[in-house]
C-alpha cells in the first residue's frame, strides 16, 4: 500500500511527520522515558489506517 511505503520512507529519513513522539510524551510519559527514540523510531512498526469520507461530488472550477 502507498501509505505503508510512505511511512517506511519517513522512518528511514528519521522524520516523525505524524508526531508520534509528541503523543508519547503527552499521553504515555513512562513509555517515552524507556525508549531510545533515535533508534526505536526507525525500527518500530507503523501500520497506517486510512479512512476517507466523500462529502461532496462534482466538478471543481
Record the pTM.
0.66
Q: Is 58 left (phi over 0), alpha (psi -120 to 50) or beta?
A: left
By residue range, what is the domain housing residue 50?
1-61
Structural domain count, the chain? 1
Is 22 in contact with 53 (CB distance < 8 Å)? no
Q: How many Cα atoms sit within 13 Å of 6 on the Cβ side? A: 8
| pLDDT tens-digit readout, 2-58 | 888 998 999 999 999 989 999 999 999 999 999 999 888 988 888 888 899 998 888
Amino acid at each position: 500500500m502507498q501509505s505503508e511505503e510512505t511511512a517506511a520512507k519517513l522512518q528511514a529519513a528519521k522524520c516523525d511527520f505524524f508526531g508520534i513522539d509528541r503523543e508519547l510524551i503527552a499521553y504515555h510519559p513512562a513509555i517515552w522515558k524507556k525508549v531510545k527514540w533515535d533508534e526505536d523510531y526507525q525500527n518500530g512498526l507503523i501500520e497506517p489506517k486510512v479512512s476517507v469520507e466523500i462529502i461532496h461530488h462534482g466538478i471543481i472550477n
